[in-house]
Chains A and B, each alone.
Chain A
């Protein structure tokens, strides 16, 4: 599904290398988790994959279902099936959540040459999905993320994911700032989307999310590289011992 090979990324504005050769491959139907110390480059990886400005790829490649995504516009990547749940969802004053989501759903459909979703179908779908995530009607009407609590913003990301039905979902610390119940809701939201055709890359600092979303593979990222890859037990090791031992291993 998602293939990242030897990806090197520096900041556009300054001479700072952030990703120093990332290799990662997420197969359809699988959930991969990335853990790693603060500042190791996890969010940078997710931003570069989704096409944010300010980064320069100096080496390597990234493909989604065999297609090179690095040359695509962000909206083309989205239409191709990539979705990023932001670590810090952006507030957009004046744009209603509903309007935003309907525009997004239909823009993607149009880009893929599919028929637009009717207003009625959209309404039905969003009501159902919002209910599952305990997002009330009022939050749907409000401007995107404006005045939302930290947890509400994260649930709103999952709602978007549920509506857009992407093929490849990257979740950047979607668990941070969530209370225990909200974490369960978010995990249920993710699990509901798990199927054979969809890949997940879940960035997290905590084992707890992974209790709910059982990963198939766990990667440890440090200083712009994947330094270790293993099974779910790797997350437990981090939870118990921190990164010191792992970092020492590769040093």
Chain B
């Protein structure tokens, strides 16, 4: 099947098997940030935006993205750079495997709710599993970033 979608701002047309998964398609098109962690829709590592909504790319047949906009971390470098250092400062990035999905979903959270409480941060990121950090460092990192922003330190 032939599909056309906008990937990180670039229109691409490709021929795909009907059951190609979006995750595989994205990796084949140079988006190495998109990784497969569980393949059972449970870990959040493969998060990308489909028309600006965070979704699990391991769970979407790419034919469903036909005519739509897909954004990966490769297309959001600037937005991610704003807060990623705060997370690293808290030691929350250990093996780093969960990081791309976590960063994508944090961007989605902050776009939807620019001033979340810690409970709102935890609730929004509940679908992003991390085997190393215990999550506290990540919450602290986001909090530190939000505080820095409020205090005009950014």
Whether chain B is bound by chain A comes out as no
